[in-house]
Amino acid sequence: MNEVLRRQTNPANPPAHDRVYRGLRLQVMHGELTPGQALTLRGIGKQYGVSMTPAREALRRLTAEGALTLSASGRVTTPELNNDRIEELAQIRSLLEPELASRALRRAHLALIDRMESINDANARAIHLQDPVEYIRTNLEFHRTLYLRAQSPAMLGLLETVWLQLGPTMRALYTRLRRTTAPPHHRLILEALRAGDDAALRLALRTDVTQGLRHLQV
């Protein structure tokens, strides 16, 4: 009866290089790796139970996205950002994120705002528990949940590469200043969303982004 046979391709059998890529990507974005940390092909291969070939492809992909840095000799490390670069990346965030938020505003119904609120609660819990990785994860998820509504996949993709570049450094920030209170601007974002106030939303995003990264300056 014309059965649609999908053997290995579609269902849940991603190639090895893709598994490795996704795993490392999360580790980088969530700040599980410290800045300047070196990664080796054989080490990653062993960690994921694959050979050097898929590990190499995953690393090549991540360096192409700026998540990792390639030294002149081919060594791969997590990036160590200087102040200029941090500031530039923060400015890119403050350029893209208000735009994405504004685009999402029209499509942001109540269920979305509620979901963001619960993510924000998880974020506050992570702060209370002093869990840096969980803090970064929920913080990014808060933002991404909103931006997904913007229906602008290319712009969101660009933004994620910026997040990726900031990942290790953000973790270093967190452990340095050990914040004990939730980011204050998330509430402003939620209020602007509920009020449907575009200008306030853009402003709240801009301050949330720049404020959070201002403390990163060495």
Partner DNA sequence: TCCCCGAATTTGTGATCACGCTGACGTATG
Partner DNA sequence: CATACGTCAGCGTGATCACAAATTCGGGGA
Q: Which residues bind a second copy (CB under 8 A)?
A: 9-10, 15, 17, 53, 56-57, 60-66, 72-74, 85, 88-89, 91-92, 95-96, 99, 152-155, 157-158, 161-162, 165
The verdict on 71 binding DNA (CB under 7 A) reads yes
17 vs 30, beta carbon nearer a second copy = 17
What tokens does 138 get?
């929920």
Per the CB < 8 A criterion, the answer to whether 154 and 173 are in contact is no
Binding mask 73-92 for DNA (x = CB under 7 A): xxxx----------------
Q: How far is the CB of 217 from DNA (least distance, A)?
A: 27
Sequence length of the chain is 218
Q: How far is the CB of 92 from a second copy (least distance, A)?
A: 6
The verdict on 34 binding DNA (CB under 7 A) reads no
Q: What is the distance between the alpha carbons of residues 205 and 207, in angstroms, rounded to a whole number?
A: 5
Run of H or E residues at 77: strand 76-77
Run of H or E residues at 38: strand 38-39
194 binds, among a second copy, DNA, none (CB under 5 to 8 A by kind): none
4 vs 110, beta carbon nearer DNA = 4
**Segments in the chain forming alpha helices (H):** 16-29, 41-48, 52-64, 83-105, 110-128, 132-148, 153-177, 185-195, 198-214
Q: Which residues bind DNA (CB under 7 A)?
A: 2, 6-10, 15-18, 39-43, 45, 50-54, 56-57, 71-76
